[in-house]
Structure 1
Amino acid sequence: MDFETAEIDVDQGSDTQIRLSAVPFIFNPGERSLYVGADGPGGTVQDTAWLGLKTEPFNGWYSAQILSVTGNKGTDCMFEVKRNFHTPIQEGEWLWFPVKRQTIEPYRD
Structure 2
Amino acid sequence: MTQSLLLFSLPGLVLVSALGYALSAVGMKAMSVGAIPAGLALLLTGLAIAVWSEVHLLRQTSLSVVYVAIVAAETLLVLGYAASIGDAFTWRQGMGAGLVIAGLVTISI
Q: TM-score, normalised by structure 2?
A: 0.25
- Could you say which structure has the higher helix fraction? 2
Q: TM-score, normalised by structure 1?
A: 0.25
